[in-house]
Chains A and B, each alone.
Chain A
Amino acid sequence: MASDETIDVEIWQGDAGGGDYRAYTVPAQRSQTVLDVVTWVQQNVEPDLTYRFACRVGMCGSCAMNVNGKPRWTCRTHVSNAGDGPLRIAPLRNLPVIKDLVCDMTEFFDKWVGAGGVFKPSATRDDPMPAIDPTMTERAAASEAIECINCAICYSACDAVAQNDAYFGPAALNRSWSLINDVRDAGKTERLTAAAGIGGCFNCHSQQGCASHCPNLLNPTLSIAGLKRAAVKAKVRGEI
């Protein structure tokens, strides 16, 4: 039973074959994060509880979990801001579970590459460094998209991903848009071809679950809208 000194928490445990929530009572602390709660359970009660974390400061994107029904970065989510009632912690949606709170990120990163997420240089190391004007339109558009930490929270929040397993998802397309706006990049045609294809940007329904849940306040829906415009223009001009 929770009191001022304790927190009731339910943590999903299992694997790809299924699982269930187990309940714990955890000592409450000031400024306690959801990751702190999971760590306390693993260190004090359930040594084989499996979860991922690394930096604990919102940089690495590895500790994303489903907290009270919403995908959150657990290292930067205070228990006091996680919602009313007992904490319910589960693995991210839309990704296969390996064990407990750990998802298999393979498809997430495969799609990231499939959408054209790898930079293709237009110059060699022997060429002079190109000057990028920080006020240019492309640079401004890229700046809005580049702070992604690949936590897969948007991928987990996206209903289009949930219903369409071919869809690249918000993070991959957001990355593609940031590279299309990179004037040093030489892979725009391949990127727009991927964005215009069957797993591409035209599967987005603009519901903005990605933008609502992105912990870095990015707006992948806006990036995808940019991709839609660019892909349509390229198609009409016969470039893809």
Chain B
Amino acid sequence: MLDVRLYLAQRITALVMAPLVIGHLAVMIYAVQGGLSGAEILSRTQGSVVWALFYGAFVLAAAIHAAIGIRSIAYEVAGVKGLALNVVSLGFGVLLLVMGLRAVAAVVLP
């Protein structure tokens, strides 16, 4: 059910996410400690290529990583197999990707 391609994709996306999660938490704590308002945060993120790349990469990695995890759970716990397994895991990944990219777009598009 998991072959070497999916295994590698899950491990590589975990590697990508690790520093991004730390960066996300650090920024979150900084923003709260500094008492930034929503408008002040948006003024920093809107039009920023750096934040678009930061959270865009985060969303892409999370969508791939979680979809592979869901694939294992669906197969082993729920007994989903064959085409249905591909539909469930791919569908979950696309759902996360669309929702995540919409959220990124909402904060980085001017």
Closest Cβ–Cβ distance, residue A24 to chain B (whole Å)? 37
Given contacts A163-B77, A164-B76, contact A198 B8 (CB under 8 A): no
A228 touches B7 (CB 8 A): yes
Number of interface residues of B (CB under 8 A): 11
Residues of A within 8 A of B77 (CB): 163
Contact check, B4 vs A163: say whether CB atoms are below 8 A apart.
no
By the criterion of a CB under 8 Å from any partner CB, how many residues of chain A are at the interface? 16
- What's the Cα separation between A6 and B75 when bound, in Å? 46
Summed over the interface, the residue pairs from A and B with CB atoms below 8 Å come to a total of 34
Question: What string of 1s and 0s marks CB contacts (under 8 Å) between B1-39 and chain A?
Answer: 111111110000000000000000000000000000000
| Contact present for A235 and B4 (CB under 8 Å) | yes
Interface SS of chain B: helix
Are A202's CB and B6's CB within 8 A?
yes
- The interface residues of chain B lying within 8 Å CB-to-CB of A228 are 7
For residues 166 through 180 of chain A, which have their beta carbon under 8 Å from a beta carbon of chain B? 166-167
The reply to whether B2 and A198 contact each other, CB–CB distance below 8 Å, is yes
The answer to whether A164 and B6 touch (CB under 8 A), given A198-B1, A203-B1, is no
Interface residues of A (CB under 8 A from B): 160, 163-164, 166-167, 196-198, 200, 202-203, 228, 231-232, 235, 240
Q: Which residues of B contact A (CB under 8 A)?
A: 1-8, 75-77
Closest 4 CB pairs of A and B: A163-B76, A196-B4, A202-B7, A202-B2
